[in-house]
Every structure is written in C-alpha cells, then in structure tokens.
Amino acid sequence: MKKRGRGVAWMFYPIGFTAYANPSAAFVKVNQDGSAVVWTGATDVGQGSTTALAQIAADALGIPVELVTMVTSDTLQTPMDIGSVASRVTYIAGNAIVRACEMAKQILFEVASEELGIGPEGLESRNGWIFVRDFPERRVRLAEIARKAEVVKGRPVIGAGSYNPPTTFLDPETGHGKPYNTYVYAAQVAEVEVDTETGEVKVLRIAAVHDCGRAINPLLVEGQIEGGVAMGLGYALSEEMVLQEGRVLNTKLADYLVPTSLDVPPIDVEIVEVPDPTGPFGAKGIGEPSLLPTAPAIVNAIYDAVGVRIRELPATPERILMALREKEKEQPGRSVRDREDGRPEK
Amino acid sequence: MTVITRPAPPPVVEEAAEGAVGKRKSRHDALLQVTGQALYGVDMKAPGMLWAKAVRSPYPHARIVRIDPTRALSIPGVACVITARDIPHNRYGFTHQDQRVLADDRVRYVGEAVAVVAAETLRVATEAAKEVVVEYEPLPAVFDPIEAMQPGAPQVHEGGNIAARLHIRDGDVERGFSEAEIIVEEEFRTPFVEHCHLEPHAALAIPGPQGTLTIYSSVQRPFLVASDVAKVLSMPLSHVRVVATSVGGGFGGKNEMTLEPWVGLLALRTGRPVKMVFTREEEFQATTVRHPYRMRYRTGVRRDGTLVARSVEIISDCGAYVSWGASTLAKACIHAAGPYVIPHVKIEGFLVYTNNPVGGAMRGFGVPQVGFAYECHTDSVAAAVGMDPITFRLRNGLRDGCRLPTGQVLERVTLHQTLQRALELAGWERGAVP
Amino acid sequence: MTFHLRFWLNGQEVRTEVEPDETLLWVLRERLNMTGTKVGCEAGDCGACTVLLDGRPVTSCLLLAPKAHGRHVVTIEGLGSPAKLHPLQQAFITYGALQCGFCGPGMLLSAAALLTQNPHPTEREVREAIAGNLCRCTGYQKIVQAILAVSRGEVP
C-alpha cells in the first residue's frame, strides 16, 4: 500500500568559522575607461561566488557589472582569503570588496569634488556616473574622473580592504561566547509517498524557504537551495558508505547512491530577504544551510505517512520495513496510520 | 540596496536604481562551461609532465616494517618514489597536528598513503605503485567509537582515543528536568557520507627557477594549501604558489591539503611537472568523509508544550586523524539544542579516534547530523504532548532577542516567517496531501 | 601493438595511433587534447564523460577506442562554439543550469541526443534522458527547466 505524508523542519546556521579568525582581503583598481579589476583570494567552487562578488564590486563602485574583471584564488596574485568554506564568501569576501571599493571611491570623489564643487562626502556614484547626492543632475562620468585622477593628478584609483567577522571563543567551562557574527534561517516542507510493502520512499515535492539576507544574485541563490535539497535528500534516503573493518565496500557511484534526476522532485524555492546591516548590501550566505532541513523534513514526512520514526540515516527501504514490522509487533492489528507513539520515556 | 526616496528623481537616479545587486546574472564563466573550455584540475597539462600514483595501505592499523621501492624504480619510465623519509616536516593539521603527508611508523586507516610514484605515463605509475614493497605488521584496530572510548581499546594515537571533548551548559539542566512533566529520550545515528564532487582531487605541480613551485589544484582553500605545503616541505612560503583551477565541486572535500605536497615534492625532485588525479575508489576510501554521529537527545517538556530542559550527548567518529573533526564537533555542539527557546541545556560532545576513514569538512560541518536529530526529536516531543509539529515549533522557536545556549542573543530571526511561507508554498492549509 | 584509429570527431576526420585497450575518453583527453569531455569515475556511473557515438550518448570511459573506428563522435567542443552556441548551451547559461559545471558537457550531450530523438519530451522523459548524468550541485531543477525551454523553442 502506498501512503502519503508530509513533514516540516527548520534550522538556523551561522556564517563563517566558529570563533577562529577567518578574514578575506581584496584589492581593486579602477581603470581610465571606468572599468575595474578586483583581486580576491576567494575560490569559486561552483557556488557562483565570483559572479556575486563582481555584482557587489559593481554596485560598491557604481559601475556596470560588465565592466568588472575578477582575478581570483591565486596565492601569488591575489590577497589572502581563508577559503570557500563555512558559507562565508559572500558575507566576508563581499565585505572586503566593499571596503576596497570605498577606498578607491574616496580617491575618485576627491578628484571629482573639484569638478562638482562639493566635498567628497556629498558625492555618490552609480552606473558609471559620479553625482552630487542632493542634486543628482550635477554629474560627471566616472571614467573621466578616473582618467583625470591617474593622468593629471597622479593618483591612480586603487583600493584595498579586508574583513574579519568579530567573534569570541567559547568559554571552556560553560561553552558560552559569541562564535559567529550572523545567522541565517530556513524552513522546508517535504511530501513523501511510502510503499508499505517495499519500504521505498518517493519524495513528491519539497518547499524550501531560506533567509540569506539580501540575495545578491537570486538565480544563484536558488541554485544553491535546489542543490542543497538534493544533497539533503541523498542524506535522508540513500547515501551511506558501507564499512567493513575500515574498508569501504561501496566505492563506486553505482553502489553509493547520489540522487539522480529521477530521485529529486520538483522543488519550490522562495527567498526571504531580510537584509543584515553587517553584510555587503545586506547579504549573508546560503551555501551550506540549504541542505540542513531536508533530511529531517523527509524523515518527519515518513513518520506522518506510516507512523514509524526512523532514527538512523539513511532511511533505506530495509530500515523502514524493519520499523514497520516492529510497530506491527508492538501494536498488532493497529493501522500504521496511528500516531500515538511519540515514545515518551515515562 | 540603497533605496532612493527623494521626490522627482532625475534620470541619473533612475539609472542608479538599476545596479547589479539583486539581479539574476548568469555565472561569469558560464560560456566556458557550456563549451567545454573551462579548465579544471583534471584538465591541467604541461610539457614533459609525469603522472603520480599513490601506494596505499590495505590495513586499517599496522606498523610499517619496511618500504622498498627498488623494484618499482627499476621499471622503465619510473622517475621517482617518495616516502615519509622524504618529507622534511611530516606533520600537519588545523587544531591537531596529527596528520602525516605520508605514513611514517604506522598506518591508521585503509587507504592511507605510504609512498607516491612518479612515472612517464599514468599506466607505468599505476603498475609501479603495485611494485613498491611495503611490509606491514598488522595491529589491533578499532572501528566503533564507543568501543574506542573503553579502557583497553586499541590506541589509534598516543594519549588516548578521545581526541577532543566539548561541553556547553546553560541554566541548570537537572532542575529543568525535575520541572518537566514529560521526558522524551531518543538516540539518533548518521552514516559516513562522501562528498561525491564530480571532479576528483587533481593537481599539477610545475617546478620553477630557484626551487620555486607552482601548484594548480582543484581546491577550495588555496591559501591554506600553500602555507601547509610550505610548512611540510620546509620551503619559504614565497616559493610556493597555489592556483585554484576551475573546481568541479568541493562541498568541503577539497578543504585541505591532500595530493599537493606529493606532486610538489616530486616536481622538485625530478625537475619536471607532475600531475595526479585521484580515482573514484580513492575518493571513497582515502579522502575525508562526513563524520558519523551518535546522538542521545533527552528533552523535558511541560504538558502545555513548553520546552524546559534538553541534554544532548554527541559521539563523533573522527576516523584516524582529527582533520576538521574538532571544529566540526564545536559547530555541532553549538547548534545541537536546535532553534528553540530552552532555559536549561547541557550539551556534551566527544570526538573519538578510530581506524575508519578520516572525517573532515562537509557542507554543514556537523550541523546536518544534529539538525536531523533535533528536528526529528522535535516531532517526537510534540507527539508526546499531543501537539501538532507546527504548533509546537511556533510555540518554542527562536525569535528576535532570544538567546542561544552559548549566551549569544540573536537578531533578525526569520524562522517563523520562513516556516509560514514554506507551509503556504506546500499548500499546507489547503491539505495538499490526501 | 598499436591500433590505427580513424574516426570522425565533430565532423572532422581524425587519425591517431592508440593502444587497443585505451578508452575513447583517454584518447580524446590525452592524445587529442580535447579536455571538454570530463573524467569523473571511469566506471560508467557518473556520465561526465558522455559523448555522442553515431548520435547516441555513450560513456566514453567504458568505450574502448577501437570501437569508435569509422564512426562519428560528437563531443562538447562539437555541439556549438562560443560564437554560435547550440540552443541548449544558451539555455543552460540563461537558466543557471550549471554550478561547478563539471557535469555540463555530458549533460548537454545527453540532452541534445534526447531532443534529436524526441523534440518535445515531457518532463519525465527529460529526467529519464539525463538520469545517467549525475550532478552534485544543482538538484537538476534548472537543468530540466533549460532543456524543456529549448524543446518549447523558448530560448532567446
């Protein structure tokens, strides 16, 4: 018999290392034509950080993103970055780039202030123009100022910046401290169909709603969430290295089951954007948290469907059948839909 | 985003509203990716390049009696064999300096590398690796972290098998349980998981002038790799350049130095570029994995559904070396109580050495394990007090100004908002499930 | 003993000497320097090495090179060029279908073979056609959307 159920799970997750320093640094140069080069040590491992960081640099300088060239992840040529880990790159490398751009922009604004007849603090830049904040029609091309700064004033337009989130280590006695500077939140809902004869679980649908602060690039954020859900689905149902005396028995992708296109259901994604004032343009992060609620949401949905609580991942057909049989033994003749077994201890 | 609120914005401000942040931009390298031009670690090549292959332990725990590369070196096309003796500083690690670049006196897990061969072709390197004679004296091994914690268990390292301990206490957990009307206790387990990034670990080392080295590697942390390579090879950091290639997925699996010091040293020894790519079997057996956790959750709740106390005990199977095990455990402990307001909390974590594959960093870093446990446990606790799982969460979930067991106070908590929207998306009220 | 291999690669005749037990994947990547075809498992499990052999998707890591003798092979380099992309390539860019991109070449060729055989597949048919191409990054959602968009002629 096939039975359907649904489950929810939510989570909180921090951005950056646990207490340890995890800085990023960035360099920026604005060229005479108003284009820019950004040097960052951050590595794009597929999550799209280079694209998101270019978008941050573009808006921080006030130039079109098409004019930003990124130089990344080379220990000789780029400034230090602790790495593409801990869901930290958008937040930390992004903040470093904003700071580098602020420094470059200060040079631009000082040069532009002569032309626009107002101090640098009264200026803004956007989309290739530098303009007076209160009289935006008074403006000059950013490229013109960059050229003037370099060629006439002898002040090449460069900037450097770094960021390290303020954290404290945990007290060894109490475990108290502030190991992270910011958190993200999410909730997911899973709908499953459980075959009570075979123990097989089919995930019908996942709804995933994540707060990543400001989404610098919603297309890439969605991609992170969808991919995380797939990884969480594998964690829930199929992925398990089988070991015998330390030897892995399933060392092939035919035997260790990563979800395929037929296993991953349609995923409804929504991004909740609550900007964080400590992040670049309010952004936080999304890389790791996307996978967290999926496995418990699926396992809770299995419970909702057939009334058995799987406490060991993955929830394989064998484990589900075994749990169903045990449940049958405990409560002979009762329907698997009964849900009183919250297993209170006493 | 800067929001322009002044009246009658002139054209420049409209342009300004455009901006790049918030836009659905395609990846900067998408064109290279779809045309097959993106260069990953596995794609790197250099003229005169040698291929490297590791010799790996078939034993989970053994003393290395002797390594004899003579027969391998006599095979035509073999250029060099390195062992632990060739590594100037054979120790590394983030919190614990327990890892060897190549095993010295002992191997501690199946697949631990004891030697690396460089040869003209991959085929010759693979054949030669089988001809490196390694004599082992098998030692008693331990594969279960609970057994490993018992007195008399085989010792994976000197100083005991408990590699790290951590605890977090908030409130008075005993008092909390005494105030509880219902106590729910459950144990959860999670498995060993492989990252399965589609591109295996791959690197190419190119020797430069004056003993310098450039290593192209498919890696998430080039700066860490550069400093670790410089340290273990006793080179000035300025002589080691690490460049991350296009990376075919990482998920934490390419978080640390793996094959880079081997190809680096072989390149320095032979004066030729050296390339290495792990097989899928090596990825499973010899690279880091997500730690398996055993977690005991005990929660005290009042009949009205208010959480009062929670204790969590986590035992993490570290495998043979700590790698990121201690920091992973810390993150797990900090989040183990879940996103709930609980006045009395006690968390205890143990990181235990075994002769299993090495646990490392993997997407979520300990929190997927405890997240599975705390959210399934939440449903059990809700059922025990006869509440539906959503009402129970909404009642106990963290909100702005709430405090974690670490004492940290949270702001801009959007848990309830995300849950509400997820339920709406899933059509919960309308009864999406028949 | 070497084998004199002759085949058509992306429409061009190619002649090269290979060992008889070399795979087509190895010949493409190491002898012909065509690294667009990726290597992920060398066991036919991941699909990263997928190429088209006489129009059919095959895992080139399992195909001995001599089996390609006299036949037509299409790799990602032959699907389209940066100047003239195949609609699937354009759709993969627009829909954000790739993250690390390593599965992309094989995924695109499996999708291209599907649309040649069946220009208007259902979502289920798309998912079946790429079931042999593992992707660890995307969850397949945007890949499926991109392929369906091409089948509906919706790609810019």
Structure tokens at A176: 């108290």
Question: C110 near C50, Cβ under 8 Å?
Answer: yes
DSSP at A170: P
pLDDT of C118 reads 98
Q: Whole-model pTM? A: 0.95
Average pLDDT for A79-97 = 98
CA quadruple A291, A293, A296, A298: dihedral positive or negative?
Answer: negative
Helices B367-384 and B325-335, packing angle to 10 deg: 30
At C33, the pLDDT band (50, 70, 90 cuts) reads very high
Q: From the list C132, C134, C137, which residue is nearest A46 (CB)?
A: C137
Task: Please provide the size of chain A in residues.
Answer: 346
> ∠ CA(A33), CA(A34), CA(A38), 5° rounding?
115
Question: A324 near A199, Cβ under 8 Å?
Answer: yes
Q: Are strands C3-9 and C72-74 parallel, antiparallel or unpaired?
A: parallel
**B279–C33 CB contact, under 8 Å:** no
Between B431 and A233, name the one with better pLDDT.
Answer: A233
Q: Does B24 reach chain C within 8 Å, measured CB to CB?
A: yes
Q: Tens digit of pLDDT for each residue in B35-53?
A: 999 999 999 999 999 999 9
ipTM: 0.98
Cβ neighbours of B30 in C, within 8 Å: 92-93, 98, 101
pLDDT of B4 reads 29
pLDDT at A89 over 70: yes
Whether B381 is in a domain gets the answer yes
pLDDT of B18 reads 76
pLDDT of A333 reads 56
Domain total of chain B:
1
Structure tokens at B366: 């300990």
Give A96-115 as a DSSP string.
Answer: HHHHHHHHHHHHHHHHHHHH
| Strands (E) located in A47-108 | 68-72
SS3 B335: helix
Please, what are the domains in chain A? Answer: 2-13+180-329 (3.30.365.10), 18-163 (3.30.365.10)
Question: A221 near A215, Cβ under 8 Å?
Answer: yes
**Phi/psi at B169 (5° precision):** -130, 135
Cβ neighbours of B195 in C, within 8 Å: 136
**B248–C101 CB contact, under 8 Å:** yes
Q: From the list B12, B220, B393, which residue is nearest A10 (CB)?
A: B393
Whether B308 is in a domain gets the answer yes
Q: What percent of chain A has pLDDT over 70?
A: 96
DSSP at A272: E
Cβ neighbours of C91 in A, within 8 Å: none
Residues B20, B26, B31, B36, Cα dihedral to 10° = 140
Closest CA to C88 of B78, B364, A197, B33: B33
Catalytic residue among A288, A328, A340, A345: A288
Report the C-alpha gap between B103 and B112 in whole angstroms. 7
pLDDT of A338 reads 39
Within a 13 Å sphere around the CA of A220, how many CA atoms are in the beta-carbon half? 31
Whether B354 is in a domain gets the answer yes
pLDDT at B16 over 50: no
Cβ neighbours of B196 in C, within 8 Å: 134, 136
Report the C-alpha gap between B6 and A132 in whole angstroms. 13
Whether B369 is in a domain gets the answer yes
In chain B, whose CA is at the least distance from the CA of A135? Answer: B10
Q: How far is C70 from chain B (nearest CA, A)?
A: 24
Structure tokens at C55: 């129009």
SS3 C68: helix
> For A198, left (φ over 0), alpha (ψ -120 to 50), or beta?
alpha
At A331, the pLDDT band (50, 70, 90 cuts) reads confident
Whether B325 is in a domain gets the answer yes
A340 is catalytic: no
pLDDT at A148 over 50: yes
CATH for B333:
3.30.365.10
Q: Which residues pair with B243 in a beta bridge?
A: A74, B216
pLDDT of C156 reads 67
In chain A, whose CA is at the least distance from the CA of B348? Answer: A175
CA B310 to chain centroid, in Å, comes to 27
> For B117, left (φ over 0), alpha (ψ -120 to 50), or beta?
beta
Please, what are the domains in chain C? Answer: 3-79 (3.10.20.30), 87-151 (1.10.150.120)
Q: How far is C5 from chain A (nearest CA, A)?
A: 30
Q: Domain containing B377: what range? A: 153-192+288-425
pLDDT of B2 reads 28
Residues 271 through 300 of chain B touching chain C, CB cutoff 8 Å? 277, 279-280
At B10, the pLDDT band (50, 70, 90 cuts) reads very low
